[in-house]
Each structure stands twice: as structure tokens, then as C-alpha cells.
Amino acid sequence: MEKIEILKKVCRLKIFSALSTDELKLYILLLIFAQGLNKEEEIGLEIIRRVFGEPFTIEHLKEMGFSLKKHKLASLSLSCPKEDKGRYPSDNSGQNVKLSFELYDFPYKSG
């Protein structure tokens, strides 16, 4: 997977200007951690929290994920181990919360 080429193609899309700075930052972070396209992957919530700094909320992350999905760039879902189910998402540490994501090739596979 040639990540620089993918990023160049995304930047040429009309939807690029519709993305907020945070949405673009999240997309680039996911691209950095991705091993491929159209494949479910994971990233620790703590990594995302470090990139975005404070204040960081799960709600904002969900909003960004909704936008990336709406623009057919990626999908996101949050999960945590069974033993931590009662603490998430109110647990602000996010240490055990995982973000599953999938980057889509739909917007730029033909170009």
C-alpha cells in the first residue's frame, strides 16, 4: 500500500475541502497505522488522545468517524475488553479502549 499516493489522491477529491482539520488529522493518523485498505484494523484510543490533546471526547471522535464514513473514506467503531465494559465510555483514561477502523478504497480506486 503506497500511503503517499493514497494521500495525494484524497487531497485531490472534492470532499477534501469538506473535511474539518480534525477529520483530516484523524484520517492521516489512521492511514499511518493502516496496513491495507478495506481491512479492519485497530488503534489504541490513547494514541488518538495524544494526537488530539485535551479536551478530547469520545463524542467528538464519533462525530469525526461519522463524517469520514459519510464521505466514504473510513469507518470507525469503539470497543473495550469484557472486563471493562462497565467503565466505557465514561472512563476518561481510555487505556483499554480500542478503535477498530477500516479505510475504504472507494473514493480513489479508479483515479
Q: Is the pLDDT of residue 28 over 80?
A: yes
Identify the structural domains of the chain with CATH numbers, from first to last: 3-103 (1.10.10)
Q: Is the pLDDT of residue 1 over 70?
A: no
- Mean pLDDT in residue range 43-62: 88
Residue 30: burial class (beta carbons within 10 Å; 0-12, 13-18, 19+): buried
What is the band of 44 on the pLDDT scale with cuts at 50, 70, 90? confident
pLDDT of residue 63: 93
